Chains A and B, each alone.
Chain A
Amino acid sequence: MRILTFNCGSSSLKYRVIEMPTERELCAGEAQRIASRTAEPSRLVHRLGGKVETIQTPMADHADAFARVMELLGREFVPDVAAHRIVHGGGEFDRCVRVDSATLKRLEAVSDFAPIHNPPAIRLMRACSERHPDLPQVAVFDTAFHATIPPRAATYALPRDLCTALGIRKYGFHGISHHYVAGEAARTLGKPLERLNAVSCHLGSGGASLCAIVAGRSVDNTMGFSPLQGLVMSTRCGDLDPALPLRLVAHRSARPAEIERELNERSGVLGLSRISSDLRDVLRGAQEPGDRALDLRQAASVYLWRLRKYLGAYLAVVHPADAVIFTDTLGETVPEVRHAACIGMEAFGLKLDVSRNLSARNLPADVATDDSLVRVLVIATNEELAIAREAYRLFCDGVRTEQP
């Protein structure tokens, strides 16, 4: 079965064709600068085998991008199923679902929860069902893995009726990735996922979150109602005194939406360092001579300290932990980040092997000392493969129930 996965950004569309159950990638690519209003035109970057081809082609919206991608796949890679990543399923979806007109209606009802990501994804699914009515579609949710977060962790201390009216609770994000690396960690440790206790650290170059996992299920996530809560991120502030956004509204005489944008797009590592939203630039700059280095060291220390505190908090929740997992760009490639989070955590039974940590290149890697009770695993995430697996499972189960 060939599964075509879609990962919809605000102005991009990543796709991949994966053969299941062999999990072989057939081709992949990304439509970039969709609906570009800048001098640089929209383009498609297509990868096949070792070859990368860049095609300049106008794409007015995600439906257009989808049509170009389907043309490009042509007869050679006709997909059997299209599987979409949906950032926010609201409280509606606790697992992946087949997409039909009823699902689309339910999705539209929760579209507001992720105003940047959900609407283009929904438009894409509509275009897909109009142009390829015979191609089955599956929606896979980043929030679904977190549906098991218990009320004690999901509840904000706000008036109950207001929470009910506005759907206010912790939803959590990056669920597809946390679920995937938890599965890989269980496999590496040779135990069933249902018996894995772990803290998963998804540290992306953009967003980042930690997930507390007990018996293979998510019991907490550092992100909240929206992806703004929790860790310091590239441009998102993460945790902030809730009175401060209100002070900003008053101070700037701004609309709440403008302050939301500022906290999402111009804070975090970028706001702290004022040079880059990429922690790697900040860590590099902190090593260079000059006065600036001191500021950059402090900026990096705010990021690393928040990460460390959350790791401790979640280790207390999942105790006894089998593993701490690091994944995504910063988690996989920046040893300083893992070092700052894990060093001196012997109180939790966690001992980092400093030199293993520095030399972890071939993933998955275990960078804990041999006598550490908690393993420290560096695992490459693969959200597309995770989406394909979920879609495959759903589809096969569906077929099975249709033919008892």
Chain B
Amino acid sequence: MNSIVLDPNDGGLTSTYVSDGRSLCTVSAPAERCDEEDPISLVCSIEAGFRSAGHGVPHLIAVRAIFGGEVFPAPTRVTADVIAALDSLSPMAPLHGPRLVNLLRACSHTWPDVPLFVVFETSFFVSLPMREQRYALDSSTAEALGARRWGFHGIHHEAACAHLRRELRASGLREIPRILSVCLEPKPEAAAVVGARPVMVTGGTTPTDGLPGETICGEMDPALALIIARRMGWGPERVNLLLTRESGLLGMTGRRITFDDLFGNERPEEELAREVFRYRLLLTAGAAVAAMGRLDGLVFSGRYTQAGRSLARWLGERPAFLPQPPSGNRIVEVFVRPIGELVAEAAARAWLTQEMDARAGAEERSSTAIAR
């Protein structure tokens, strides 16, 4: 089975040709090109590129989306209604929303006969328990702002946890596994997952909450956003830019660095940034134990596998502060799969389910007809 995965992200548009679960070829269009070029011609050139590299017409097109809200609890086959629904969600993701809608339209234009699926990062977190979802705001204020917790790396978490569940079962765990899943992307995110269900996540209404990122501040005293606005005489957009583009590792070290760089090169002048991140991760791990009652396994995913190995060692070597589960040894793993493959898998699963449902529906209809 062959799929093309399109991933519109901060860096532009990444497209991957995935065959039988393995990515064969990846092409990236930088953000400037995505801004300037007409989406249809952009997608056409991607199609032409894969074709000239010898990759045939795919069975499936899958597009990764950051935000799907409560409307999209699963990967979804794209129809005109779906595009309209996504259009109405755009205010919640003002940057990604309109780009996504244009991209989906361009895909259905370029591959009119190939099933097109959209896979959402937020789907995994749609049914987060209310006690975890809600901030302590007046309920009408919360509603007006769409203020609830979300996770923005659900695709990684879901695949990494499924992998760790298999490992835990193989090691003899009989109870429902309790997992801390840490996704190390430019904006890292941790989730506590019981079985296949998240009960806690560090993400917020936006990715600004939670663990600090490469340029995002993460959790802080909420009054500070307002105090900075007041003291500096800045408007909300300027402060938001400070919190999302000039903070995090960049703010702490004064350098634009990745998590792999930070934890792989251990420069002494960056020790504070490492300590801050490790400490926040430790707090999150403790909170996850409180949320789940115990911790059977830890799994790191995302593009920063070097940082993942370093942090896995750091947390894994400290069983003292996170007592071992009664079931035996805790499993700590780094799950290495590129996002393109995970998106292709999720879309293929959704397609299969849809086909089976359709077949079951058809059989039901025909058996009803026979009964009549």
- Name A residues whose Cβ lies closer than 8 Å to a Cβ of B: 151-153, 155-160, 162, 166, 168, 170, 223-226, 228-229, 232-233, 236-251, 256-257, 259-260, 262-264, 266-272, 274, 298, 301-306, 308-317, 319-320, 344-349
Contact = CB atoms under 8 A, between A and B. Distances in A.
A177 B27 CA distance: 59
Contact of A246 (B219, B239, B254, B321): B239
B290 A312 contact: yes
Given A242-B243, A313-B286, A316-B289, A266 B227 contact: no
B223 A271 contact: no
B323 A302 contact: no
A316 B321 contact: yes
B136 A305 contact: no
B147 interface: yes
Interface centre among A236, A245, A317 (most CB of B within 10 A): A245
Given A152-B279, A267-B138, A272-B134, A245 B225 contact: yes
Given A159-B251, A160-B251, A245 B222 contact: yes
B209 interface: yes
A241 B286 contact: no
Given A313-B287, A348-B323, A228 B229 contact: no
B295 interface: yes
B282 A317 contact: yes
19 contacts: A156-B221, A157-B217, A157-B218, A157-B249, A224-B220, A237-B137, A241-B149, A242-B217, A243-B243, A244-B137, A245-B226, A246-B240, A247-B145, A248-B141, A249-B226, A250-B236, A268-B136, A316-B289, A319-B321
B267 interface: no
A260 B322 CA distance: 37
B131 A301 contact: yes
B226 A153 contact: no
A99 to B, nearest CB: 27
Contacts of B108: none
B217 A244 contact: no
A347 B325 contact: yes
B227 A237 contact: no
Contact of A226 (B227, B240, B289, B323): B227
Contacts of A236: 136
A312 B199 CA distance: 15
Given A155-B276, A168-B224, A242-B224, A271 B136 contact: yes
Given A160-B251, A302-B136, A303-B136, A225 B289 contact: no
Contacts of B250: 159
B139 interface: yes
B134 to A, nearest CB: 5
Nearest to B218: A157
B293 interface: yes
Contacts of A246: 225-226, 229, 236, 239-240, 243
B236 A249 contact: yes
B23 interface: no
Interface of A is mostly: helix
A272 B240 contact: no
B144 interface: yes
Given A152-B275, A237-B222, A232 B236 contact: no
Contacts of B287: 309-310, 312-313
B252 interface: yes
Contacts of A237: 135-137, 222
A344 B291 CA distance: 9
Contact of A238 (B136, B200, B244): B136
B212 interface: yes
Given A159-B246, A274-B138, A316-B289, A241 B223 contact: no
A54 to B, nearest CB: 36
A250 B145 CA distance: 10
B370 interface: no
Contacts of A223: 221
B1 interface: no
A233 B149 CA distance: 19
B226 A260 contact: yes
B230 interface: yes
B205 interface: yes
A305 B137 contact: no
B75 interface: no
A233 B135 CA distance: 12
Interface centre among B145, B149, B218 (most CB of A within 10 A): B145
Interface string B135-156: 1111101001101010000000
B147 A244 contact: yes
B131 A298 contact: yes
A259 B130 contact: no
Given A242-B219, A313-B286, A316-B285, A271 B134 contact: no
Contacts of A302: 130-131, 134, 136
Nearest to B206: A243
Nearest to B234: A256
B283 interface: yes
B248 interface: yes
A317 to B, nearest CB: 7
Task: List 6 tightest A-B contacts by C-beta distance, closest first.
Answer: A312-B290, A316-B286, A241-B204, A224-B221, A157-B212, A319-B321
Contacts of B16: none
B222 A244 contact: yes
Contacts of B149: 241
B84 interface: no
B132 A347 contact: no
Contacts of B320: 319-320
B182 interface: no
A264 B278 CA distance: 30
B225 A158 contact: no
Contacts of B226: 245-246, 249, 256-257, 259-260, 263
A241 B230 CA distance: 18
Contacts of B224: 156, 158, 168, 224-226, 242
Given A166-B228, A238-B136, A248-B141, A312 B206 contact: no
Contacts of A225: 220-221, 223-224, 227
A201 to B, nearest CB: 13
B42 interface: no
A268 B325 CA distance: 35
Contacts of B216: 157
A169 B230 CA distance: 17
A234 B240 CA distance: 28
Nearest to A247: B145
A185 B282 CA distance: 25
Nearest to A113: B227
A263 B145 contact: no
A341 B293 CA distance: 11
Interface centre among A158, A224, A344 (most CB of B within 10 A): A158
Contacts of A157: 212, 216-218, 220, 247-249, 251-252, 273, 276
A317 B320 CA distance: 10
A74 B227 CA distance: 44
B372 interface: no
